[in-house]
Amino acid sequence: MTPALFGLLAFGLLLLLIFAGLPIAYALAATVLILMTFTGELGQAIYIADAAFSSLNSIELVALPMFIFMGAIVAVSPAGADIYRTLNRILPVPGGLGVSTIGGSALFSALSGSSPATVAAIGSSGVPEMLARRYPPALACGIVVGGGTLGILIPPSIVLLLYGIVTKTSIGQLFLAGLLPGLMVAGLFAAYTIWRMSREVRHNPAIAPTAEEIMSDRAARWRVLPFFAMMALIMIALYGGWATPSEIAAVGATASILLVLVVYRITDRRTWSRLLLKTVRDTSMILLIATFSYYFAQFLSFHGVVSDVTETLLGAFGNKWVTLFALWVVMLILGCFLPPFAIVVITAPMFLPFALEAGFDPVWFGVFITLNMEIGCITPPLGINLFVVKSIAPEVPMGQIMKGSVPFIAILALSSLLLVLFPGIALLIPHSMM
């Protein structure tokens, strides 16, 4: 059996176990153990496992629980709703409510680094408000589904953090590279929303806010100012090179605790206990999946799959751009079944040798695959953001949510093309800081 065919067999078995209901981390481990049993290599399991666990012995991973904790703290507070309300009142354009949702998602991403967390925090206020303001249900849900994808691209991004660790690429450079593409995607989302709602307003005039809503929004502006200041300081420290991502995560988590205590006066012990427990659970889940993903990747490398895939990619199509498109399709398919952090740990070590051989910058490549994984987060029928929005708006049929995601999938695909045509979108800031 050729290494490439062996790799296809491994991925097929992995997907079969996932569809059978096995948790992703255990499906990854079970795939390796089953194949080792059939190849008579079970005795090698300890060596591959040791390499997998050693790969995560990285000081950069200290930032992971702190970024998760920071996002959880802000998510449990009304900060997401306040950010959303503040932006809504300062954007007097057709579709201003939807644009505010996208802007709020972009800003909240700078605090959470997680796509589902961004959808939950912004969507819990955004979807009901947009439906009340006569937005088409598909569009209202699509805006939140699409806006949530910014959570894994705009720094601090957990996916870019893991990519940097498994590929030994500068995490600071990756965070710098993610900003402009993230803002570009947010801008395209906003432009589409304005265009779409400018057509809707002609047939369905917006409802004017009440005096009570205006007063509530003014109060929200004052409450959200400290969070804007914290986001600004995080970005300045990150892009100014004042601190490492781990140090920024520590400062951000500490500042989030203080702001939530002072501004929103959340002092309930049960709430803080739930926050700590959620942080431990989410961190453990990500690390477990990352560990077994690396275990899976090491097993494929042991069987020559990685080198064979690189040679196949370079020789099969004869054109690096066609090959890059093939990788784009692979990322899209995997994104429908696996979480982004699992995909990046499995595929980055496998595809990066091709990227380097083809002359692509490793920082640019990290942003490229992260942007493509965003598409998987919202692609029907299994995109995770779709189900988060469904939990927020159970009255909206899943078919409508999926329909609403289609334009945003197209915008993300266009953004990937722009990133390929103009790599400076990702590399401008990192190169200017060198």
Q: Which amino acid is at 136?
A: P
pTM of this structure: 0.82
DSSP string, 67-104: HHHHHHHHHHSTHHHHHHHHHHHT--STTHHHHHHHHH
What region does 319 belong to: left with phi over 0, alpha with psi -120 to 50, or beta?
A: beta
Is the Cβ–Cβ distance between 368 and 419 less than 8 Å? yes
What pLDDT, on a 0 to 100 scale, did the predictor assign at position 203? 47
Backbone angles phi, psi at 334, to 5 degrees: -65, -35
Q: Which amino acid is at 303?
A: H
The first and second tokens of residue 284, run together, are 């453990």
Q: For residue 93, with 0-12 CB atoms within 10 Å meaning exposed, 13-18 middle and 19 or more buried, which class applies?
A: middle
Domain boundaries defined on the chain: 60-433
**Spatial CA neighbour of 385 closest among 412, 405, 369:** 405
The first and second tokens of residue 328, run together, are 């784009």
Taking the C-alpha atoms of residue 340 and residue 158, their distance in angstroms, rounded to an integer, is 9
Instruction: Convert 177-192 into a string of H (helix), E (strand) and C (coil).
Output: HHHHHHHHHHHHHHHH
What pLDDT, on a 0 to 100 scale, did the predictor assign at position 282? 80
What pLDDT, on a 0 to 100 scale, did the predictor assign at position 251? 84
List the chain pLDDT tens, one digit each, 434 residues.
777 788 888 888 988 988 888 888 888 889 988 988 888 877 777 777 777 677 667 777 788 888 788 777 777 777 766 776 777 666 666 677 788 888 878 877 766 666 777 787 778 777 887 887 788 899 999 999 998 888 788 877 888 888 988 888 888 889 889 989 999 999 999 999 988 888 765 545 555 555 555 556 667 767 778 877 877 787 778 777 787 778 888 888 888 888 888 888 877 888 888 888 888 888 888 888 888 888 888 788 777 876 776 676 666 656 778 878 888 888 888 877 777 878 888 888 778 887 888 888 999 999 999 988 888 888 877 777 888 888 888 888 999 999 999 999 999 999 999 999 999 999 998 888 76
